[in-house]
Chains A and B, each alone.
Chain A
């Protein structure tokens, strides 16, 4: 038998993280072309622009979630921080730099508090960030007076969405730059290695001398800042900030990062992979929009995709599969039994 399950399993585990996003992107691109083809439309630069605007919408949220997941944590508060970032920017108003700065500052505070609770008190990050989600939802509603806040500076919102080179915009370029920056951080600095170490094997990382608590706080700060800043940018783009939190950013982000090869169990993932996951999902969304597909179909497609992704990541499924494959191979490996009845030596 030329088929070697052990090699396959090891290969899947080692290379899966790198191959998955590429495969996903190819599949999505094909799906997109087919969708557009069936709709009897031609692909224009407007599609490219829309796709990149989609990337800009939740790209940083995915990046934020991905960073925490690489470090072995989970930040459920991201969608609330995203909303709050928009509300804060709209309320502060005035100079965009000040407004966005205020949103970022809010993100830093939230990230530090959540990070310290997780790292110092050793509380499950899901529990902490779930509480954070509710608190931040409340804060967003309170500071906005439960009303949609309108930006006073409408020009800025127009500026950042104006097409550049037909497909880009300032907003999408900024978001892409964020990916590049985090990508460089993960790849070329000490911090990147340490984050993956913290996520993959915390004990070993601690023994090696990685300052665990500081790294955990760092990812929560980066996560909250990423969510807040992109929420602020999006609010400029929409010229308004709605105070209600919904799970959409979280759903998009989780799907994108797992498709992008980030391990749900920490330690694996790259900024490029996350970006590819985000682009793939954005392609899908643009395709669905082009076909004027109803929302419920989009929900079913996304939900189905996420369900598949959850299964791919399920540890006991792989474990069971590998076991079954190996069993077939080693059946009957033991020969004639050794006598251990204790009867012979007398």
Chain B
């Protein structure tokens, strides 16, 4: 479906203020940087140069080396070899404080504005050179000046940040950093939580900042936005730089190719081996979720026992959709029409459970495992009802169930009594998923980033577990930000963008590049009928 690449990107790219072949001495330059974590090479001889007043995009798949590079600039990670230059002079970046001294600022995905404070208070918060007693007029002038620089001159400095849109909050945070003489702003997935309209607000502000000489390093998965906003784009793949090109000259299809590299060979055998449900006697269910403003209204007809993969970039609504179905989004409405006209409404996690829904959150430590308790206790946590009689837990049943599940998911542990904290990330994830397996027939299993923080081997094992569950009749809906994972595991791929379904395809008919194109190019694709091919 790359036949009609949307053109908004390339047109708007020319709005940039800096022409090609930027100033002779770049503001920040990274020269042949290399970094390895043990046997894993994160960066090999990567170079990056951001000119003064330039908006520079940084693209690459997860694990390609983007975040390592960002961390190097922020002083959080030290290079094995290579140098970082500022204004042409080599600088030392051994601590975050060093980065700060050189005017390098990082805007993280997680915002650092305090919701209960006003805009002005947030902008000036924490700056030390300030007098003890607030100088009303001076503070107000300073806040207005900084707000104006990020294009928020209309915003009242007295507005509480909790009443602002996500874009405005982001700009308030940037305004605070500008107040500290930030020269290079690194934005890591800044629009992940923003709507398209909100993104445009942030972009306008960033362009304005660039025009005034600030530099921006813009890290994003949303390729249309990168092409739209940036002057130049650096692409990293497998730890190496594969391109540093002018954004105006870059076609979306070419960018995707650069990011993905050679087309991946997918091991679809495992899925093919699973007896594909016959279309004639297939049981179908309809899933509906509405959760404004993140999800406008999604309705999907899916086949029981199939594996549906939700693909989308961070903030596209995939995670929210799963959470709403799990009864964990108080503001959302979700329903599942089961065969026979029965409609289940997961208004709470208890209701979801009663409707046969199990949920594996993407936050394993915060919302998954019971970290103070043992492996065995975690495995049986959700089925205490089943293994107890009159409220008393059967000791043998408990051992048996925990033992069977632990074997089934191949947890490497010194015993069921071992603390779950002792396990590696992959094994913890297996325990988490194991908890949701074998819960009976006709269940729905929701997985949000099922293999986050799991190594390659563990990942294959987890995929097998999910396939096995589907083979036993469980309907699986999972979300993943990694195209390969979606294509490996899913029967049907549902692409989301900005809370809307933009494409639905069978996984074997898609390549990773297709998927990336669908999930990054935005609403233009939505008008195309998914089934109209």
Complex Cα spacing A208 to B506, Å: 47
Complex Cα spacing A205 to B121, Å: 11
Residues of B within 8 A of A201 (CB): 113-116
Residues of A within 8 A of B288 (CB): 333-334, 337
Q: Categorize the interface residue count of chain A.
A: 35 or more
Residue from the set B176, B300, B308, B533 with the largest chain A CB neighbour count within 10 Å: B300
Chain A residue nearest to B112 in the complex (CB): A207
Interface-lining segment among B125-133, B211-219, B352-360, B366-374:
B125-133
Chain A residue nearest to B337 in the complex (CB): A337
Chain A residue nearest to B301 in the complex (CB): A337
- A330 near B333: Cβ-Cβ < 8 Å: yes
- How many A-B residue pairs have C-beta atoms within 8 angstroms? Tell me: 149
- B116 near A188: Cβ-Cβ < 8 Å: no
Residues of B within 8 A of A330 (CB): 290-292, 332-333
Asked if A342 is at the interface of the complex by the 8 Å CB criterion, the answer is yes
Known contacts: A14-B162, A194-B125, A338-B300. The answer to whether A205 contacts B330 by CB under 8 A is no
Known contacts: A208-B176, A342-B506, A343-B282. The answer to whether A333 contacts B306 by CB under 8 A is no
Residues of B within 8 A of A337 (CB): 286-288, 299-301
Can you list, as one digit per residue, whether each of B54-95 has a CB less than 8 Å from chain A (1) or not (0)? Answer: 000000000000000000000000000000000000000000
Residues of B within 8 A of A145 (CB): none
Asked if A204 is at the interface of the complex by the 8 Å CB criterion, the answer is yes
- B114 near A200: Cβ-Cβ < 8 Å: yes
Known contacts: A338-B501, A342-B306. The answer to whether A205 contacts B126 by CB under 8 A is yes
Asked if A151 is at the interface of the complex by the 8 Å CB criterion, the answer is no
Complex Cα spacing A196 to B301, Å: 48
Can you list, as one digit per residue, whether each of B253-294 has a CB less than 8 Å from chain A (1) or not (0)? Answer: 000000000000000000000000001001010111111100
Residues of A within 8 A of B113 (CB): 201, 204
Q: Which of B132, B287, B303 touches A343 (beta carbons < 8 Å)? A: B303
Asked if B297 is at the interface of the complex by the 8 Å CB criterion, the answer is yes
Residue from the set A194, A197, A205 with the largest chain B CB neighbour count within 10 Å: A197
Asked if A299 is at the interface of the complex by the 8 Å CB criterion, the answer is no
Q: Which of A14, A208, A336, A345 touches B125 (beta carbons < 8 Å)? A: A208
Complex Cα spacing A334 to B302, Å: 15
CB distance from B168 to the nearest CB of A (A): 15
- A322 near B330: Cβ-Cβ < 8 Å: yes
Chain B residue nearest to A319 in the complex (CB): B330
Known contacts: A193-B121, A267-B116. The answer to whether A333 contacts B297 by CB under 8 A is yes
Complex Cα spacing A207 to B176, Å: 11
Known contacts: A200-B114, A334-B297. The answer to whether A341 contacts B501 by CB under 8 A is no
Asked if B191 is at the interface of the complex by the 8 Å CB criterion, the answer is no
Known contacts: A204-B111, A208-B176, A319-B330. The answer to whether A338 contacts B116 by CB under 8 A is no
- B117 near A268: Cβ-Cβ < 8 Å: no
Can you list, as one digit per residue, whether each of B387-428 has a CB less than 8 Å from chain A (1) or not (0)? Answer: 000000000000000000000000000000000000000000
Complex Cα spacing A196 to B118, Å: 11
Asked if A4 is at the interface of the complex by the 8 Å CB criterion, the answer is no
Asked if A203 is at the interface of the complex by the 8 Å CB criterion, the answer is yes
Can you list, as one digit per residue, whether each of A89-120 has a CB less than 8 Å from chain B (1) or not (0)? Answer: 00000000000000000000000000000000
- B301 near A208: Cβ-Cβ < 8 Å: no
CB distance from A273 to the nearest CB of B (A): 14
- A342 near B492: Cβ-Cβ < 8 Å: yes
Q: Which of A205, A340, A345 touches B533 (beta carbons < 8 Å)? A: A345
Can you list, as one digit per residue, whether each of A286-320 has a CB less than 8 Å from chain B (1) or not (0)? Answer: 00000000000000000000000000000000011
CB distance from A178 to the nearest CB of B (A): 18
Known contacts: A14-B163, A320-B330, A322-B330. The answer to whether A205 contacts B299 by CB under 8 A is no
Complex Cα spacing A339 to B111, Å: 37
Residues of A within 8 A of B505 (CB): 345
Q: Which of B116, B289, B533 touches A200 (beta carbons < 8 Å)? A: B116
- A340 near B492: Cβ-Cβ < 8 Å: yes
CB distance from B438 to the nearest CB of A (A): 25
CB distance from A326 to the nearest CB of B (A): 5
- B116 near A196: Cβ-Cβ < 8 Å: yes
Can you list, as one digit per residue, whether each of B295-320 has a CB less than 8 Å from chain A (1) or not (0)? Answer: 01111111100101000000000000
Within 8 A of A (CB), among B334-381: 347
Q: Which of B114, B124, B127, B494 touches A204 (beta carbons < 8 Å)? A: B114
Asked if A2 is at the interface of the complex by the 8 Å CB criterion, the answer is no
Residues of B within 8 A of A344 (CB): 531
Q: Which of A200, A207, A319, A336 touches B115 (beta carbons < 8 Å)? A: A200
Within 8 A of B (CB), among A161-197: 188-191, 193-194, 196-197
Asked if B134 is at the interface of the complex by the 8 Å CB criterion, the answer is yes
Q: Which of B112, B282, B292, B530 touches A203 (beta carbons < 8 Å)? A: B112
- B301 near A341: Cβ-Cβ < 8 Å: yes
Complex Cα spacing A337 to B134, Å: 57
Residues of B within 8 A of A268 (CB): 116
User: 11 pairs across A/B with beta carbons < 8 Å?
Assistant: A189-B133, A200-B116, A201-B116, A203-B110, A209-B127, A210-B125, A320-B330, A322-B330, A333-B297, A340-B302, A341-B303
Query: A-side interface residues toward B, CB under 8 Å?
Result: 10, 13-14, 188-191, 193-194, 196-197, 199-201, 203-205, 207-210, 267-268, 319-320, 322-323, 326-327, 330-331, 333-346
Q: Which 9 A-B pairs have the closest CB atoms?
A: A209-B126, A333-B290, A323-B330, A208-B126, A207-B112, A337-B299, A334-B299, A200-B116, A334-B297
